[in-house]
Structure 1
Amino acid sequence: MIDTSEVLSANGVDLLYGETSAVRNAQISLHRGEVAAITGQSGSGKSSLLYCLAGVLPVACGEIRFEGHSLGSLNDEELSALRRERFGFVFQYGELLPELTVEENTALPLRLAGRRKADALAAAGEVLGRLGLADLHRRRPSQISGGQSQRVAVARSLVHKPAVVFADEPTGSLDSSNATAVLEEFLTLARSQGTAVVLVTHDTQVAARADTRYTMCDGILTAQGRVAS
């Protein structure tokens, strides 16, 4: 039986930048294997909320829980370990390290977690193969296309089989054809692993692929409900 239990939640979360409220009373519940999309205009607070959920930004009030444990109870070292070992991240421009090969970039989360190089590279090769990138493993980021770079970023976010992936405009720098292909591969692989995904996007077509949708406006998150299958 597939585990669909709650993995991440936010309850009454506020985020302040000085005296400005970036996030106000946010409520969200994310289950294993679920993809949740947050849409909104630039400056609406959606990326700020994403980084609160990932434990990167400290909240002013409210609580974020991961697997039943409050992120507020963790110290900096514990939060760093959580982000390194249980979370994955995909950014708009991939953020690959130019000095590393495709397979080394993909294997990076495993290496940071202490896995042997040979084992980490083998796991990276498996994920790259599933994303159609096996023949690029020795190339460096400067030697591959934008769409390929974003696929590598997706592989890197999933190689350590995280519980949650946080994706901040993961297709924003791609044309529509590449965006569709990358998103399809990303969501298929994430769901097959039981990984939950929080996806921030401006693109309503990207958001339409999610299981659950939210909109954000002036720091206020509104649930739009579960997408009909």
Structure 2
Amino acid sequence: MNTSEVLSAKAVDLFYGETPAVLNADISLGRGDIVAITGQSGSGKSSLLYCLAGVLPAARGEICFEGRSFSSLNDEELSAIRRERFGFVFQYGELLPELTVEENAALPLRLAGQRKSEALTAAGEVLGRLGLAELRQRRPSQVSGGQSQRVAVARALVHRPAIVFADEPTGSLDSGNAAAVLDEFLSLARSQGTAVVLVTHDTQVAARADHRYIMCDGVLTAQVREAS
């Protein structure tokens, strides 16, 4: 694990109107780190994730990616980082129904301007590593929930991003599928040196991370592990 810092947040606040969602949050992420943020529903963990990803603007504090503060970037520059350097996995996959599995997985490469044939080849390689090679031409409606989530993982990692932001990526799956998808997701991310920010309410999922944080009422606390 490379500990050089890729993302950091210092004293970050986020409000919805006058209601605080995140209060004075500090967090840092090294290259290849797996970081879990756990907490009850409504604790603010997803809000913090979308702040860290540059989707929600922080009211106060500073978030830096590879040494560049989000506040120094214009909308176009920040969008380019989200598109080219970040990946996303959502609870329900959010695949585009009109595209095939292969086309869904290739989408980040196509958005970055890569030729279709090259993007599909790269997507096929990642899908193969996730056991989905035979499903490449199917539509999302023709695959199972676990398979759909694997496609979402492939899409998040196909362009070898610096960070993947995963919001309850196994929350919609049964325990067997959840464990399998998480294994494949983290294994592939580690093999690529991609860092992961993983939001989950499941302490067993959080236990798979290198570093764990607990969020309660918008307040983020680092969890110190006992030496084994």
- Give the TM-score normalised by the residue count of structure 1: 0.97
Q: Distance in 1 between matches of 2:164 and 2:227?
A: 22
Aligned to 2:112: 113
Alpha-carbon offset, residue 3 of structure 1: 3.9
Q: Distance in 1 between matches of 2:226 and 2:139?
A: 38
Matches for 1:157-168 after TM superposition, within 5 Å = 157-168=156-167
User: 2:28 is paired with a residue of what secondary structure?
Assistant: strand
User: 1:7 is paired with a residue of what secondary structure?
Assistant: strand
Render the CA deviation track for 1:74-99: whole Å, top value 9, x for unaligned.
Answer: 11111111100000000000000000
User: Given that residues 167 and 200 in structure 2 are in contact (C-alpha distance below 8 angstroms), is that contact kept between their aligned partners in structure 1?
Assistant: yes
Alpha-carbon offset, residue 225 of structure 1: 2.8
Q: Distance in 1 between matches of 2:220 and 2:105?
A: 33
Aligned-CA RMSD value: 1.1
Q: Distance in 1 between matches of 2:193 and 2:155?
A: 16
Aligned to 1:53: 52
Render the CA deviation track for 1:173-225: whole Å, top value 9, x for unaligned.
Answer: 00000000000000000011110000000111111111100000000000003
- Structure 1: tracts of 5 or more residues without a match: none
Q: Moved runs in structure 1, 4+ residues, more than 6 A?
A: none
The AA in structure 2 aligned to 1:122 is: T
Q: Distance in 2 between matches of 1:226 and 1:78?
A: 37
Classify 1:226/1:188 alpha carbon distance in 2 versus 1 (closer, same or farther; 3 Å): farther
User: 2:82 is paired with a residue of what secondary structure?
Assistant: helix
Matches for 1:146-225 after TM superposition, within 5 Å = 146-225=145-224
User: Given that residues 2 and 33 in structure 2 are in contact (C-alpha distance below 8 angstroms), is that contact kept between their aligned partners in structure 1?
Assistant: no
Q: Distance in 2 between matches of 1:32 and 1:134?
A: 29
Q: Calculate percent identity across the aligned residue pairs.
A: 82
Matches for 1:35-46 after TM superposition, within 5 Å = 35-46=34-45
Q: What is the number of residues matched between the two proteins?
A: 228
Q: Distance in 2 between matches of 1:94 and 1:228?
A: 36
User: Given that residues 208 and 227 in structure 1 are in contact (C-alpha distance below 8 angstroms), is that contact kept between their aligned partners in structure 2?
Assistant: no
Aligned to 1:74: 73
- Structure 2: tracts of 5 or more residues without a match: none
Classify 1:85/1:228 alpha carbon distance in 2 versus 1 (closer, same or farther; 3 Å): farther
User: Given that residues 211 and 227 in structure 1 are in contact (C-alpha distance below 8 angstroms), is that contact kept between their aligned partners in structure 2?
Assistant: no
Q: Distance in 2 between matches of 1:116 and 1:228?
A: 49
- Give the TM-score normalised by the residue count of structure 2: 0.98
